[in-house]
Amino acid sequence: MSNSMSIAIVPPTTEADLRWLAHLWRSEWGGDGMVSRGHMYPLSALHALLAKVDGEFAGAATYRWDGAGGCELMSLNAIREGAGIGTKLLEAVERTAREAGCRRVWLITSNDNVDAMRFYQRRGYRISAVYPGAVDEARAVKPSIPLVGNHGIEIHDEIELAKSLAGEMR
């Protein structure tokens, strides 16, 4: 796949779009709900953006307004990794959040996801909080959360990353 391929970022509009998103969540996130900071958010309650390449589903981002001037990125997936799809989706979420008047975009990832930590930090995100043991607590709510994650790392902790939309974070 070349870097010059055209990636379209669109909100889901059809039943097929929503079905694909639900399927993606089941296969990648273990269900149709996401636990963040002790709350379970059903997919149906979130906003979404889809990435399409040549009309084919290629990735998705979901997010929500946190009620405190921020936008929480709830999920980000690229079906074909390393082709710029994740970056495009992240930029689209940030643009949407900025237009909605949000001051920051933030997200929770688990301690095993060192690839995501690299990905976000390379794109202006900073670690804004660490919650030791939070994934163990989330597992009580959502037992499908695995015990061992990426690179064989045990999953226990939540790491919050954030990017200020107003400029540099202090």
Give residues in contact with ligand COA (CB under 6 A).
Answer: 75-78, 81-87, 109, 113, 115-116, 119, 122
For the purposes of burial, counting CB atoms within 10 Å of the CB of 28, is it exposed (0-12), middle (13-18) or buried (19 or more)? Answer: exposed
> Which one, 83 or 102, has the nearer CB to ligand COA?
83
50 vs 85, beta carbon nearer ligand COA: 85
β-pair partners for 104: 70, 164
Per-residue tokens: 67: 């009620």
Looking at the Cβ atoms of 72 and 170, the one nearer to ligand COA is 72
- Please state, in angstroms and rounded to a whole number, the distance separating the CA atoms of residues 137 and 116: 21
Q: How far is the CB of 66 from ligand COA (least distance, A)?
A: 16
Shortest CB 110 distance to ligand COA, Å: 8
Beta strand residue intervals within 37-164, DSSP E? 39-42, 47-53, 56-65, 70-78, 104-110, 126-131, 158-164
Beta carbon of residue 42, minimum distance to ligand COA (angstroms, whole number): 17
Beta-carbon contacts of residue 104 (< 8 Å; ≥ 6 apart): 69, 70, 71, 162, 163, 164, 165, 166, 169
Min dist CB 84 to ligand COA, Å, is 4
Place of tokens 């963040």: 36
Nearer to ligand COA, 85 or 165 (CB): 85
Q: Please report how close the Cβ of residue 99 comes to ligand COA at its closest, in angstroms.
A: 21
55 or 82: whose CB is closer to ligand COA? 82
